[in-house]
Structure 1
Amino acid sequence: MRVPFLCCLTSALVLLPAAALADDNAGLHTAGAWTTDAVSDVSGGLRRGGLVMHNLDLTADWQANGWSAHGYVLGNFNGGFSDRYVGDAQTVSNIDTTPAVRLFEAWVRRTSTDGNTMATFGLINLNAIFDVQDVACLFHNSSHGIGPDYSQSGPSIFPISALGFVAEHQMGPLHLRAGLFDGVPGDANDDRRFVYVRVAGDEGAHIVAEAQYDFKGGRLKLGHWADTAAQARLDGTGNGHRSGTYAQGQFTIDDATHAWLRAGVTDDSTLPLSAYAGGGVVRSAPFGRNDDSIGLAVAHARFGGPYRTAQGSGVGDETTWEVTYHYAVRKGLSLEPDLQYVKTPGGDLSVPDAVVVGVRVRLDLFGS
């Protein structure tokens, strides 16, 4: 099944204001933001050099009487830094991707009267609901957005989403979530399309479930995911199924200091990475600046035995250390100097450890 461009564009961006006008209690909110990353490999990696990458986010949200809808157009420009310069598997910039303008999300949601149960259907960013880590959003490395043990399977995440259905229910401190997604987001032969939806039996489905427990000063999460479509095993002995399990915790150390830990494992018979562990600490209002924050994080990705065997000798683990600072220039404008040290980029022992420096500029274009 293919969904025409005009159909998705209309449902995501045109019907929202129309629905809002039809209900006196409805609310429509739009927002736009521009992010620029100027990054440079100053030592090691594949080669020295720099790149300036850009990211545009345009969103529209509407809600009324237990119903809500969300549209999100995503633009990325001049990507490919990690592939060209660093060679890392975890990707040092979380806006680094194939340049294109895409309809990233377009979904509707029904929320129960008591607010404890929600059902969402449409083009959904899985990582906006599952494997989310609030504290880690300060950092630029992609592994602190979603673990690479999970993202390597190609689920419905940045920058291309898939049709999905998600159900969520809360019982006091316990939150339960389950999602069913198309197994292959977008067009595997063209990742620059504005929108492409194809539901086919041979692509299978992606299934994910997560439990979250909130407690005073933090939360714990445990999730499991699996693909129903068979994939070739890395050792050439037939087919297997991709699956994995992750856990994470978020903790408050004091009013200004927060930390997190995350770990994940996969069935590495069909995937390069077998395990991941990462975490970090963030302190807000350093040096007396209330809107600033500073953080230190580490991300360690382990390559599995079947992948190491297939590659021959010379495969190690990849570990990235990151230090970043969020400097609030004024409301809606921030600068974020960032330093990352990548040990064994891509797990290739022949590639020197890389040092990457960069600065991120984020500007809120509008909001309502």
Structure 2
Amino acid sequence: MTLLRVSAIGLFLGGLALSSIGISKVQAQEFFVEYSGDLLKNTSGGNKRASEYVDILYLSVDDQYQLSKNLNIVAHASALYSNGAGFSANIVGDDQVVSNLETGDSLTKLAEAWLRLEGNKWSLLAGLYDINRDFDVLDSAELFFNSSHGIGPDIGLSGGNGPSIFPFYGLGVSGFYQVNEQHSLRFSVTDGLPGDPERPSSIAAKLESGDGAFSIVEWAYKNEDQTWLVGYWQYTVSEPLSALLSSRAITDLNKGYYLRHQRSIGNSRVFFRLGTADSSFNKYDRFMGAGISFESPFSERSEDSWGFAFAYARIGQEAKINAELEGEVLEKGELNVEFTYAYSVNEYIALQPNIQLIKNAGARNIPSSTVLGIRLTLSM
């Protein structure tokens, strides 16, 4: 029995229970299926010249019920499959990850499974949860392949196994409050060590005291033309990069801040992101990214979009010192420049050619990589 079927049966039985006590369904159960595959070729530089195919199959089911006039409950479950190809890990050697489909290991697993209670101006969620569903997200940046435009590497590469994001999800709670028409606040507290890298297909839904917790809070300002996001995150248990910092780590926390902005100008949207992380605990302590995306570039291609962006992660001082002690000299940081065009074949099929230039992959002094790729997306 597949993970999605188990999830669907669970939601169905939950729905019967809710219906039996007089709680009405708001809408029909929604199923979503999407398959994405990236054919990538490193034509120069990096670790080696080679090609790889990276893919993801994502399935989800959602259900919604009305508890009272102003109170709904939403149930969500999802599962994913990945072939585990390691294009960045094995071929390019970059840390920001060329394809946001890459998981590093072959896996088939339950992804998210949560319940969300919704009021007029607020919501409260609990369960297996991807914080990048709601935090550190801009629509315009989702066009790009590189993982740093989804969630910054200052957050994504932090902690013992990263925060609760793709592909390792942890148990947690998340809250949202709409202060007024333009201002809102979010918070989340999740497992500080989500998933299990030794068993990538395992749910690993555990809450152990030694893992600590990861927390994040975000303020958002949105109107018709622009969005501002300001966020703060931290871990309660922090592992220093160097044993020399162990005494300091007792009192200090692994933490950081980020600022994101998006603005619409005609048929284009420009965006930027700035992020920080404590260099005592993280390889990269600063991040800067920006880009522009264009909707409907041609009158006869209203569903297409294209854009270019860059992402730069700066190496932290502690990481440089540790590398020097091991006889390696690191560069100032890693730079990724990306150009892409999303071609909509029809409402179910999309093709997306992509070009990326990676300089100083992994902050090492190695020849720059030029990566050519194309993404196939099938959804329904």
**What TM-score do the two structures reach when normalised by structure 1?**
0.93
Q: Give the Cα–Cα distance (whole angstroms) in 2 for the partners of residues 263 and 302 of structure 1.
A: 11
Post-superposition offset of 1:230: 3.0
Higher RCO (C-alpha 8 Å, min separation 6) = 1
Equivalent residues in 2 for 1:85-234 (5 A)? 85-97=91-103, 98-112=105-119, 114=120, 116-153=121-158, 154-172=162-180, 173-193=182-202, 195-234=203-242
Distance 1:275 1:162 in 2: 25
Distance 2:25 2:80 in 1: 30
Residue 16 (structure 1) aligns with: 11
Q: Counterpart in 2 of 1:251?
A: 263
Paired position in structure 2 for 1:282? 293
Q: Which amino acid aligns with 1:358?
A: G
Change beyond 3 A, Cα 1:236–1:11:
farther
Shift of residue 85, structure 1, vs aligned partner: 0.7
CA deviations on 1:83-122 (whole Å, 9 max, x unpaired) are 111010100000011110111100000001x2x1000000
Q: In 2, distance between residues paired with 1:328 and 1:145?
A: 21
**CA 1:24–1:211: 2 relative to 1, 3 Å:** closer
Whether the 8 Å contact between 1:161 and 1:186 is mirrored in structure 2 is yes
Structure 2 unaligned regions, length at least 5: 67-71
Cα drift, residue 207 of structure 1: 0.8
Cα deviation 1:242-298 (Å, max 9, x = unaligned): 1111010010111x1101110100111011001000010000111321000010000
CA RMSD for the aligned pairs? 1.7
The gaps in structure 1 that reach 5 residues or longer are: none
TM-fit CA distance, 1:36? 0.8
Question: Which has the higher mean CA deviation after the structures are superposed, 225-234 or 340-349?
Answer: 225-234
State whether residues 245 and 280 of structure 2, in contact with CA within 8 Å, keep that contact through their aligned partners in structure 1. no
How far did residue 326 of structure 1 move? 0.2
Question: In 2 relative to 1, CA 110–343 (structure 1 residues): closer, same or farther, beyond 3 Å?
Answer: same
- Tell me how far apart the structure 1 counterparts of residues 133 and 341 of structure 2 sit (CA, whole Å): 23
Q: Equivalents in 1 of 2:154, 2:239: separation in Å?
A: 16
1:283-322 matches, cutoff 5 A: 283-288=294-299, 289-312=301-324, 313-316=328-331, 317-322=333-338
Contact 2:25 2:64 in 1 (8 A): no
Of 334, 337, 352, the match for 2:353: 337
Aligned-residue offset at 1:31: 0.9
Supply the distance in 2 between the matched residues of 1:20 and 1:293 (Cα, whole angstroms). 39
Q: How much does 1:26 deviate? A: 4.2
- 1:12 is displaced (CA, Å) by 3.3
- Tell me the distance in 2 between the aligned counterparts of 1:11 and 1:53: 26
- Cα distance in 2 for partners of 1:236, 1:190 equals 31
